[in-house]
Amino acid sequence: MRYLLKYIQRDLCDKMVILSGPRQAGKTTLSQALLKKEDVYLNWDIEDHQKIIKDKLWKKDINLVVFDELHKYLKWKNFLKGIIDEFQNTPALLVTGSARLDIFKHEGDALTGRYYHYRLHPIDLAESKNFLPEMNDTDRLDYLLETGGFPEAFLNPQNATRLRTSRFDLVLYEDLRDLNKTSSVRGLKLLISLLRERIGQQVNESNLAQDIGVSPTTVRNWIILLENLYVIFLVPPYSKGLARSIRKEKKVYFYDCAAGLTHGARLENVAGSSLLKYCHFMRDVYGKELELYYYRDREGREVDFVITENIKVKWCLEIKSSDGALSKSLQYLDKKINPENSYQLVQNISIEKEKNNIQILSFARWFDNIYNTTQ
């Protein structure tokens, strides 16, 4: 079963739990796995369920009620506040949704202090061993690079490309409608195609606007919308205390780690999506303040990823597909900011070693054990 199950089960004893994440990442399957025979699953997309929800007609002497896609109900936050105030946490409440429930959070809103929030990500290399225990880490990485981590595509590799296209269409035609957005679906599709060509690169809104034939402001709004719909995520530059690190452009990655058009882009996307999943897991489960960045300065020195914990730099990571020279940019940054650890992670590595205080390790082995050895 998926990696968040036992933690959500634990927290449902204390507070309502909100579970968000990309469409088809497995939220409904996970929530239904928590249900016992007498418990209740209610989906706002089902008309008969809407009346039960609005009129509070579910049984109150059960263990759990799951509200799926409840954010489509215009009064959903006040509804949940009223339920909690009236019934406390009896029965326990799990609320799920694909259109990024966390975009509705504001300081002082109706639900402050009344819930725990979890973000469910697609399958990464570390989780893949639960589905493919017969494969070693290197073979599972190759598998993930081809299928991506969304469960249906991961479990049906022969249809992965078609399922990816179908998922993007569902997001643009259904989730966009549910958010009451009138953005051009055609323009958003073109933007997704252009961003797939730019995975791991800095986002230049002016260039994208010129390619699409719209204004930079429109592109900026569309990018925010794709973030809110869990299609892409943006990684900002790390610059704290580094005068030369003034580049402000963010780098783009997809939640679908196999969305890249080249092998190198997909490998970096696997790394970026895995690291974001790790940061979200540590925050959602343990409350740790982890953030994901990249580094680039005026001289063009660039390091793929920087992870901070409580502002302090925890890791600097450079991603390589083949073995070769140690990254000069990584060596520079390691000396400059003195992180806990610096890694050069290589897909096709001949031998693991340490050089100039930097560990040169197998990409597959490191990500396969990220939750076991790095907490």
Question: CA 53 from chain center: how many Å?
Answer: 29
Output the CA angle 305-104-274, nearest 5 degrees.
Answer: 25
> What's the rounded mean pLDDT across residues 203-232?
94
pLDDT band at 107 (very low <50, low <70, confident <90, very high): very low
Classify strands 115-119 and 16-20 as parallel, antiparallel or unpaired: parallel
**Confidence category of residue 184, pLDDT binned at 50, 70, 90:** confident
Is residue 316 predicted with pLDDT exceeding 90? yes
The answer to whether residue 67 scores a pLDDT higher than 90 is: yes
3-state secondary structure (DSSP) of residue 180:
coil
The per-residue pLDDT for 372 is 84
**Residue 52 in this model has a pLDDT that exceeds 60:** yes
Q: What is the mean pLDDT of the chain?
A: 91
Structural domains of the chain sorted by starting position, each given as residue range(s) with its CATH number in brackets: 5-119 (3.40.50.300), 125-373 (no CATH)
> Using CA atoms, how far apart are residues 181 and 177, in angstroms rounded to an integer?
6
Tell the burial category of 123 from Cβ atoms under 10 Å away from its Cβ (0-12, 13-18, 19+).
buried
Q: Is residue 104 over pLDDT 60?
A: no
- Residue 178 in this model has a pLDDT that exceeds 70: no
Res 175: pLDDT? 79
Give first-to-last CA distance, the chain, whole Å: 22
**Would you say the C-alpha torsion 329, 371, 3, 140 has a positive or negative sign?**
positive
